[in-house]
Structure 1
Amino acid sequence: MLALLALVGGAWAIDGAVNGSRIYDGVSVGAVDVSGMTEEEARRAVSSFYEPRVADGRALIFASEEARDTLDVESELAEQDAQAEQLSLEEARANKQVWVAESGTLGARLSVSELVSRAFAVGRDGGLAERMEAARNGVSVDVALSFDEEALEALCSSIDESAGEPRLDYGIAIEAGAVSVTEGHGGKAVDRASVARQLSEGFLGEAPGKVVIVATPDEADVRIGADEAARVADEVQAALDRGCTFSFEQTEWPLGAADLGAWVRTRVEEREEGFALVPYLDETEAASGLLGLIRDAGYTSAATVSFDVDGGEVWVSAREGSRYPHTADAAAQAQSALFGSEAAGSDTPSIAIQWGEAPSRTTFDEALEMGLIAPISSFTTEYNDSPATANRRHNIHTAADLLNNSIARADGGEWSFNDTVGEANEEAGFQAAHAIINGEYDDAIGGGICQVATTVFNAVYEAGYPVTERRNHSLYISSYPTGRDAAIAYPDLDLTWVNDGTSDVLMRSRYTDSSLTVTLYGIDPGYVVSTQTGDWETGEPFKKRTKVDESEPEGTRYVKTAGADGRNVTVHRTVRDRAGNVLHEEDFTSNYAPIDEVTVVGPNTPTREREDADKEATDKEEASVLSTGD
């Protein structure tokens, strides 16, 4: 027995010396044999095999087998790409039957280190039997990609919308402190897990750039049903009815359901037992609201701030010795009291807001976390994302980077888009993208920056700061608020606004492949903005034209520029202080010119005018036959 133990022990010692730092024989990661490799060698082998495939990943996703079998993909994509910058998201998604999904846009990632660690564990975690199985029959570690959840959800939601009635969860709405359930319904939805699995298998396969998937939206039940929404509505109503009392110095504010309800939000969370609707207090909104109450009560010793950028870091400065209310701490306490572990009973929670000494200089993140500064307003615009819009997306991101961390100084400082971003030329890194030229879309350096200007304009508009120069774009896009877009053409057309507050305002941008958000930060001046949007007035109708493109295949036909009639609208903005006094009012008038509908056809393809003439002749001939009774 002792001899046997000694033999086994010696075998383990030899094995440890030979294979201690190497993967056992017969082990592979997907299609890559990593037998005998160190972990570092295996990581290099797996990366060199799979990462080029992932980088080349491109899939055509069809909404049905019929679409896959009958659709003229090239013409369909040509029309989608040509109009991706012209139409609203809703218009572009209507009746869409094919999507292009690329690995980069979806944030496809391969966790090579984790895969190699699992390969290294084979025969170690499972012991001798697992090692023998690997040597005899082989053991393969499954390879799968992960995707950016938001990007994958956006793709799947777009496919859902093509079915006409996507699934809608039940939820809650709060109006004047009264909580009600919002109706939901089952509808169409694609299987997210199936789409992700097929994309992963295709991008990791032998032809990653030619993946074809059919993802038909099927009937799907709601994730949040009526009972769950009703339960949450009761929970939220009970919390709001309890109310919450805040105090600062000698002043108290007993806030009831109507006040607190404006700060309540919900989110859907996936749990082991299914999905749950979770209520919570938007602490940023609550902190800002509390600061407004303190300001309205006459406490004027709250700090004023200034911003500066040094070495890529944003710094926030306040007057030496100035103080500010710890509204961020108070908002966090309110969240716990209303919806956290402390939320119980019928007593009204009472929260005292404390003074804090404002640091003379601190980082932006620290100032935001402590509540010294807060978001004043924020606005997001979206744009269609396709391979043909890559240059436009690049221009949007480039302009957004240039205006990020720009500052409008207090007490009348003017902010200018052109002064901040500069001329959108090749020297500044801008590329050619679609712009309206002579009544149709064509390439121009810097195409897309008007979307950035529009996003800035709406953030400033909602904050209530005076806008001193703004022009509308020549084409109306319904994704933007009516009459609230902004055009830029260096140096003639600019967007300018004035900071009439007592603290500096910092502008920040963030973006994804399909959205841009601009946020203003500082001390909220508390302006209240109201809007009256006038009726549309009709203008000149659009015309139709056909262009022959000899470089296109014979029989090609697609709409390059969507037609739009000219029209006019006026938006009136009124800005008041929190006491209701009018500070300023202005009209923003937009005059949109007609845009020709331009159809591109390949050589030897009948133009629409020729087809219309042929149809008219056919109609006359049929009418003649009918009139003679033959």
Structure 2
Amino acid sequence: MAVITRDAQRKRTRSRLRAIFVPLLVVPLAVIGIAVAIAFAADQLYADRALPGVTVAGVSVGSLSRDAVIDRLQSELARPWSESSIVATYDGRSWSTTNGALGVRPDVAAAADTAIAFGKSGGAVERLAAWADALRGDARVAFTLQAQGGALDAWLGQVSSDTDRAAVSGSLAVGPTGLVVTEPVVGRQLDRVSTAASVLAAQSLQDRKIDLSVREVYPAVDASGFAEALAKARAATTPLTVRVEDRVVSEDAAGLASLLVIDRVLAKPGELSTPPAGAIVPATRYRYTVSLDEARVTDWVKALGVKLDRPAVAAKYSASKEGTLSVIAGVNGIRLDQDKMRSLMLAELLTSATTASRELAAPAIPDSTAFTTDQAKEWLPKLSKTSTFTTYFPPSRSRFANISTGASQFDGVVIMPGQSFSFWNLLGPVTVERGYAYAGAIIQNRSDENVIGGGLCQVSTTMFNALSKLGYQIDERHAHGYLIDRYPLGLDAAVFDPGVDFRWTNDTDVPVFLWSWVGDTFVTFDVWSMPIGRTVTFSDALQKNFVDVPPDQPADPAFPKGVSVKGRDVFRTRTVSDASGKAIHQDFFASHYAPVWGGPLPAPATPPAP
């Protein structure tokens, strides 16, 4: 039996392994060596040429030199490319052009360099992979586009002139005819950089469409800072009709707009809507506010009351020539409740109207007369004529019209205890429509023959003398500019609107009323009341500081030629005592009169020579 040692067995095993694995290692190494040799040979062969199978935008340039690649790309890429169309679209509109018209061309030289360099960098494995791609037809080289000249910029400018729209900031103001409104408009602006990038991003020879990149441009005041204010302003200026019973007053948009306060204020964070991403937004944004000016609303309501009120008419008396009194009945009225109307306006005016006009039923309250018919009847049997006074004037139709019209305004009007009387407040407007005419009056110490209502001073002077001798409280009295001899010296009472009034107060506990009688050359005022037990005395007139007419003083047209009156100061004192003899009034009436004259007498006629 053979004996095999352990060492011999081991040697035999190693020999078998070598026989198996050495061929397995040698063959791949040989293949790799051959591949490396081939790759090295290929690198040398294609050092200045594109690898086989390389394409640029679908154009085969494999195995071509750089110059040949450029020639082929010029022929098969650049020329067809220039004729390919570009259609840009935005918001339903389109703008057509071609690559050639825009000066957009493939960068052929750069593409050729890229094609030649393909598969010639990196390690052996990377190069082999590139060869494999090339041989499979997967060696596709991209190209870049370049814009030559200014054609692309010019085209973008033309397109932007169609797409761009200036942003308009909203504005709201009050004008002469109502609201002045500029609605806000969000603008548009072509994003030239983004659009140019889209034009230069193509990678094929096909006709193509691109979407224009247009950004919104927000104004300083956009709709979110404008719409609410505009709605309030339009609500407030909705034509308004206000009604009290059968009386109606309408106010148009212009009148209502005058009640508004419109402000543009800085918008705080979160007060306005957030613009979309990409929008161009100003650093500072504003909003409008609309409110009502409460003081103006108050004034407007007061003026409304003048139009809508139907004031109560106090009872009056009428006197006959025979001295018989009768009662003219009073009439209750109605007036606007101004406090409630003001609150209603402030609450309602800024709310939206559902119709083209708005109508409000104004809150009203009864207006009761201060002197009722029942009171007049109660006092009637107790009244008697307590004073009368008459003054005279030269015949004149216009003067008669003014005196009779003016005096009649005071007939029968009752002045209650404690009530004050103002000549102008009770007289009312002096207009031709009310019966007044142009006549002479003293203006700045000189007669003016063309004054509407000339002669009303005769009414106030006559009234003053009739009342003053009864002892009533005199609150305001003025002298004329020059002395008028048909009035008691120093006891005239001139009136002129504005600023010159005759006022007195019934400081007794019984009512008083006046009644006038006017003839062609006279006016009389009767005072009706009850005897009050007062004693009235006037001092004699104290005349001082006489002044002659200066030689250069112009003649007064109301004075006859050759007639002059010296200027002077006149002082009268009135003392009023009650039934016990206690003085209750002491008035000092001071009058300053300027000199006046009618000019020199005409020279006597020269008798004819014998």
TM-score, with length taken from structure 1? 0.35
Greater helix proportion? 1
Q: Which entry has the higher C-alpha Rg, 1 or 2? A: 2
TM-score, with length taken from structure 2? 0.36
